[in-house]
Amino acid sequence: MSPQIRDEGADEDAARVEAEIADLEARLQSAKERKERLSRSSPSAASNSSNSNNNDNDTLARSPSPPTSSHHFLLLLSDSALPLGSFAFSSGLESYLAHQRSSVRKTGQQSRPSFTADFLPLSLSSYASTTLPFVLAAHRDPTAVADLDDQLDAAVICTVGRRASIAQGRALLGIWDRSFVSSSAAPSSSPASSASSTTAAAAEVLKPFSALLRSAGSSSSPSSSASSASATATATATGSDPQLPPPVSAHLGPLFGAVCALLGLTLPQTAYVFLLSHVKALVSAAVRASLFGPYQAQRVLASPETQALITAFVAREWVTPPEDAGQSVPVMDLWIGRHEMLYSRIFNS
């Protein structure tokens, strides 16, 4: 994608993504309402609507417009109970708070750290500019996930951020391998179902990636800067070629894009859920760091400002090729990189 084409299409794309996001939000809303109704409805109500629908999610078939399996997976992937271990990471929030406190102590200024006015927009901007282009690219072509993963690994320049991204990426790959593939490919009773046949083919897409990851797994430890540093030192000392980085590391971004594509989520859905999950993780970390309570947390999540932020950043990165991704908030790298220097820590990043 050449820069020129991007320039010309930017306005059009921005308008399109606005429309798509509005549509997505409406659909998310309706899906949530349906979910709500489902949870309230009694078992007897469920039994009398036993119309056979050609959808592999029969349990959801009671709604007036039958939802597709992608709706189901949209809800699963946006669930904060998705076991990625996101709760262990604060994406620099903990470090940010410590740095703000120490600068307040030094300068005596009473500039209280602000989550909603300062850290949240900065963190989201940074996450979108560094990672979202990789999510979008992997969604557009899930077979390219290994190459995208390698490119992202070269672009993540801080140890702490890399550790967080890889831990969650591997967890997602595990969920895909162990849970999503088998459960969605299983209902072979409906051979006409396009969803299950797509998933059967989709199951193959990430297999080479998993194989690469396993082959690389034992030979290197990308999460440990100390060991790779000494490995490099010995490699160069013996005069041989320095050790190459592992072929894949399993970062969260590209895998999330690929998994969403394989489960039938649309590109705007994927982008929105990816950024929303980041906001949810930050807000959850803020609650546990005692910045505010759970009601304030829901207010932040529900606020039009948060929605507008996500929409704006999805629009900003919609046509950014992964080669052009980069850090839009340089100080974020410092906060995340210096997380290791905190005296006491409750998070891993």
Partner 1 sequence: MLATGALTHSNCIVGQSDIWTMISPFPKSASAAGEGHIVVRLLPHDVSALESITYQYPLKLISPTVKATQQSVVVFLLSYGGGLVGGDQVNLRIDIQSLARLSIVTQGHTKIFKPAIPGTITRQKLSVDIQDGAALCLLPDPVQPFEGSLYEQGQAFHLNGSASLCLLDWVTHGRAARGENWDLLKWTGRNEIWLKNQGTGLKDRLLVRDTVLLDGTPKSAHTMPLREAMHGHAIFGTLILRGPLTNSLGEFFRTEFSALPRIGARDFRTTEERQKSAERSALERWRATRIQQESQDGVLWSAANVRSCMVIKFGAATVEAGRNWIGSMLAQEASLERNFGEDALLCVR
Cα separation, 173 vs 255, whole angstroms: 7
Site for partner 1, residues 194 to 233, rule: CB under 8 A: 225, 228-229, 232-233
Using CB under 8 A as the binding rule, whether residue 156 contacts partner 1 is answered as: yes
Cα separation, 80 vs 92, whole angstroms: 19
CA dihedral 79, 82, 88, 92 (to 10 degrees): -50
Gyration radius of the chain's alpha carbons = 22
Least distance from partner 1 to the Cβ atom of residue 160, Å: 8
Site for partner 1, residues 248 to 287, rule: CB under 8 A: none
Site for partner 1, residues 288 to 347, rule: CB under 8 A: 305, 308-309, 312, 323-331, 333-334, 337-338, 341-344
Binding residue (CB under 8 A) for partner 1 from 80, 103, 183, 221: 103
Using CB under 8 A as the binding rule, whether residue 98 contacts partner 1 is answered as: yes
Give the contact letters, 119-148, x = binds to partner 1 (CB under 8 A), - = no.
--xx--x---x-------------------
Cβ-proximal residues to 277 (8 Å cutoff; 6+ apart), any chain: 77, 78, 80, 86
Q: What is the Cα 191 distance to its own chain's centre?
A: 32
Least distance from partner 1 to the Cβ atom of residue 93, Å: 14
Neighbours of 248 (CB within 10 A): 28
The first and second tokens of residue 158, run together, are 């801080």
Least distance from partner 1 to the Cβ atom of residue 333, Å: 5
| CA atoms within a 13 Å half-sphere pointing along the CA-CB vector of 261 | 23
Binding site for partner 1 (CB under 8 A): 95, 98-99, 101-103, 106, 117-118, 121-122, 125, 129, 150-151, 153-159, 162, 225, 228-229, 232-233, 235-237, 239-245, 305, 308-309, 312, 323-331, 333-334, 337-338, 341-344
